[in-house]
Amino acid sequence: MLELGERTDRYHEEIGAYIDPNKIDILLTYGPLSKHIADKSKVNLTQHFEDKLALAKELESLSSNKDVCLIKGSRGMALEDIINELK
């Protein structure tokens, strides 16, 4: 998504609006572009982060070992840092 050019903000907003709150319980976003996703999200518990470690801590506090978590981002976001922080 980092490579989308001038329409990137709009595409991120569309993703936020598209997420079905009946299928997703929690949405945590990271980075300046994903703020657009969080802003348009209808998911009841949506939080935006500018710090990966803060996101990892929040994710850890909200989830259990029975939950399914999808971590998605452009390669340039290095989101494996979040995974590496989870215990």
pLDDT digit string (tens) for the chain, length 87 residues: 667 788 999 999 999 999 999 999 999 999 999 999 999 999 999 999 999 999 999 999 999 989 999 998 888 889 999 999 987
Domain ranges of the chain: 5-85
Closest CA to 33 of 7, 53, 64: 7
Which two tokens mark 41? 């999200």
Sequence letter at residue 33: L
Give 45's strand partners.
26
Report the DSSP beta bridge partners of residue 30: 49
pTM (two decimals): 0.89
Between CA 73 and CA 22 the distance in angstroms is: 22
